[in-house]
């Protein structure tokens, strides 16, 4: 990798970082009681172009901003393959819900109601997995689908979970090629996700892929063979036991995911404080864009259903005192 190319992708990443959420803005948003007022503030701050009339449209606009940003960074990162592949994975992640909806439509012999970002695949109207394979050949969606199918999923639910897992598995593979400070900085961003995705796959789908960071592979195997009421006790044997809720399996998984998001945000911000010439900044800005999208949707959804403000804060990756 040439220094000019690395300097370029780093400078692009830093430019986009200046548009990410701040604690001040999130505090301002949480001071509102009406989710539509939040949209007005986001429009003033150029987070969205228009104020949608419905919550569903608001969610689409917030996703659109994130996807547009990732797409721009993807185009800018073509000269650094590792950075380009990382950003491409985030584009996949942000559009994965629609891809899974298209696949679910094939399994259920129905048409998804609203596909916005993968309209070309949708308009091709695949009615079988083989037709879908032909349509998406040569894309990251093809790679993900072949990965998931290679694990011999027993049903649609397992297939969808494996499509989720592809994101962290492939991301980990790219980061494994890094060395020294680059690898340490990138691993810090995805560490919690590796543990969450492996634990979730074992608990929900009884599939073991021991791609972990702080959780031992033996724990993942124990989670696979456990009953739901045993999950919390098994997770008590991990380094996360003091920082996650262990009342039941679902609350434990949710708090593990939230902890992974918090640590990913901190590590992503920290990545910009190190070497100015590193592909890790492409990973960091992609993660921050993803986290911003998720946090904004959590905020407007929480206000819409009149959730307690402290409860909303407890779900965000950006910690607000």
Contact 220, 199 (CB under 8 A): yes
Tell me the per-residue pLDDT of 185-219, one tens digit each, with 9 for 90 and over: 999 999 999 999 999 999 999 999 989 999 999 99
Tell me the DSSP string of 72-141. Answer: HHHHHTTTSHHHHHHHHHHHHHHHHHHHHHHHHHHHHT---S--SS-HHHHHT---SHHHHHHHHTTSHH
CB 86 within 8 A of CB 174: yes
CB 24 within 8 A of CB 318: no
Query: What is the distance, to the nearest Å, from the Cα of residue 201 to the centroid of all Cα atoms in its chain?
Result: 16
pLDDT at residue number 3:
75
For the whole model, what pTM was predicted? 0.95
Q: 226 to each of 61, 138, 255, how far by Cα in Å?
A: 41, 39, 19
**Looking at the predicted structure, is the pLDDT value of residue 1 above 70?**
no
- How far apart CA 48 and CA 63 sit, in angstroms, is 10
Q: Which fold has domain 1-79+278-315?
A: Topoisomerase I; Chain A, domain 4 (1.10.132)
Instruction: Give mean pLDDT, residues 271-283.
Output: 85
131's tokens: 């037709």
Residue 101 has which token pair? 């909806």
| The pLDDT value given to residue 188 | 97
DSSP for 108-127, written as a single string = HT---S--SS-HHHHHT---
Report residue 275's pLDDT band, with 50, 70 and 90 as the boundaries: low
Tokens 């309209």 -> residue: 119
Distance of CA 286 to the CA centre of its chain: 9
What tokens does 259 get?
A: 């902890």
pLDDT digits (tens, 9 = 90+) for 88-115: 999 999 999 999 999 999 999 999 888 9
Rounded to whole angstroms, how far apart are CA atoms 140 and 105? 20
Sequence ranges of the domains in the chain: 1-79+278-315, 84-155, 178-276
Per-residue pLDDT tens for 33-61? 999 999 999 999 989 988 998 999 999 99
Q: What is the C-alpha to C-alpha distance for residues 233 and 227, in angstroms, rounded to an integer? A: 11
pLDDT in tens, 5-37: 888 888 999 999 999 999 999 999 999 999 999
Give the pLDDT of residue 320.
84
**pLDDT greater than 70 at residue 276:** no
Could you give the CA distance from residue 148 to residue 229 in angstroms, rounded to a whole number? 28
Q: Is the pLDDT of residue 225 over 80?
A: yes
């Amino acid at each position: 990798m040439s220094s000019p190319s690395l300097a370029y992708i780093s400078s692009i990443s830093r430019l986009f970082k200046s548009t990410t959420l701040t604690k001040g803005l999130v505090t301002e948003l949480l001071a509102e009681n009406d989710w539509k007022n939040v949209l007005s503030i986001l429009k003033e701050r150029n987070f969205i172009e228009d104020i949608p009339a419905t919550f569903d449209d608001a969610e689409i606009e917030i996703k659109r901003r994130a996807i547009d940003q990732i797409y721009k960074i993807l185009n800018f990162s073509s000269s650094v393959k590792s950075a380009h592949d990382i950003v491409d994975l985030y584009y996949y992640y942000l559009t994965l819900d629609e891809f899974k909806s298209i696949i679910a439509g094939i399994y259920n012999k129905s048409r998804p109601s609203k596909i916005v970002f993968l309209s070309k695949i949708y308009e091709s109207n695949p009615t079988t997995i083989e037709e879908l394979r032909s349509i998406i050949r040569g894309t990251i969606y093809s790679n993900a689908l072949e990965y998931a199918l290679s694990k011999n999923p027993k049903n649609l639910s397992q297939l969808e979970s494996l499509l989720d897992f592809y994101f962290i598995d492939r991301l980990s593979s790219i980061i494994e090629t890094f060395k020294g400070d680059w690898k340490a900085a990138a691993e810090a961003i995805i560490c919690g996700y590796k543990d969450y995705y492996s634990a979730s796959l074992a608990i929900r789908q009884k599939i073991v892929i021991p791609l972990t960071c702080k959780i031992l592979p033996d724990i993942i195997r124990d989670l696979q063979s456990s009953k739901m009421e045993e999950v919390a006790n098994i997770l008590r044997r991990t380094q996360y036991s003091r920082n996650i809720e262990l009342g039941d399996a679902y609350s434990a998984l949710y708090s593990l995911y939230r902890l992974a998001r918090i640590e990913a945000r901190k590590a992503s911000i920290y990545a910009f404080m190190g070497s100015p010439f590193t592909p890790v900044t492409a990973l960091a800005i992609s993660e921050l864009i993803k986290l911003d999208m998720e946090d904004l949707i959590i905020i407007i959804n929480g206000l819409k259903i009149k959730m307690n403000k402290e409860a909303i804060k407890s779900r965000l990756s950006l910690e607000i005192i």
